[in-house]
Amino acid sequence: MNIHLLPKENSTASIWSSGLTYEYMIYPKTASYSDRDFVFRISSATIEQEPSAFTKFKGYHRYLVMLDNLLDIEVNKENKVYKKHEIMEFSSDDEVTSYTKGMDFNWMVSEKIRNHKLKLANGDQDCNAQIVFLFSLDTTVLKINEKPYALKPYDLLLIENQKKENITLQFSNECLYGILDF
């Protein structure tokens, strides 16, 4: 089992059409965002323009969570509103336009991967997924099989669990909790 703590301040920033995107990780490490050959990508972005059209990524499922605001959005000409920290799921090939400024969390997963889930969780979680991550929404103490890790707001902790060992997670505050099996 490999554990990676990826602090917000170490994420790589790049420009997208409506703000900045901060890449925490791309998997596998040899993949390229521009080549769109990744299995998954975890990032956070600022939305600095209204309206703003989201970048399309054919062949990817996407999770998006607003970190600091509600989300007023149009998906394929249908208006929707999501509360702060409410999880939005959509195909990255959809026509998506945001009418909200703010900061979001993004997780893009190849549609070739069938077993993935993101939820808002607090307290204890037991799992044996091959990829497990926690994205802290506030200062959080996370224990993995009783070993503590300190996370600042918007830090990411990722566990590569290729042998599918049983993992017990305990965390002090609400986090975004994602799992993926290949």
Q: How far apart are the first and last CA of the chain?
A: 16
112-121 burial, b at 16+ Cβ within 10 Å, e below that, comes to eeeebebeee
What is the reported pTM?
Answer: 0.94
pLDDT in tens, 55-104: 888 999 999 999 999 999 999 999 999 999 999 999 999 999 999 999 99
The residue behind tokens 């336009």 is: 97
The confidence score (pLDDT) of residue 17 equals: 85
Rounded-to-integer distance, Cα 83 and Cα 90, Å: 16
Closest CA to 157 of 38, 14, 4, 42: 4
The confidence score (pLDDT) of residue 37 equals: 94
The residue behind tokens 């599918």 is: 164
> 122 phi and psi, to 5 degrees?
-145, 145
Q: What is the mean pLDDT of each run of 10 residues along the chain (182 residues)?
A: 95 88 94 93 94 90 97 96 97 94 96 96 93 97 94 97 96 95 94
| Average per-residue pLDDT for the chain | 95
> 15 phi and psi, to 5 degrees?
-90, 135
> 10 phi and psi, to 5 degrees?
-95, 0
Torsion angle defined by CA atoms of residues 89, 91, 97 and 98, in that order, rounded to the nearest 10 degrees: 20
Can you read off the two tokens belonging to residue 131? 């990829």
Helix, strand, coil shares, percent, the chain, to 5: 0, 60, 35
> 17 phi and psi, to 5 degrees?
-60, -20
The confidence score (pLDDT) of residue 18 equals: 86
Rounded-to-integer distance, Cα 170 and Cα 182, Å: 24
The confidence score (pLDDT) of residue 112 equals: 95
Can you read off the two tokens belonging to residue 21? 């995107």
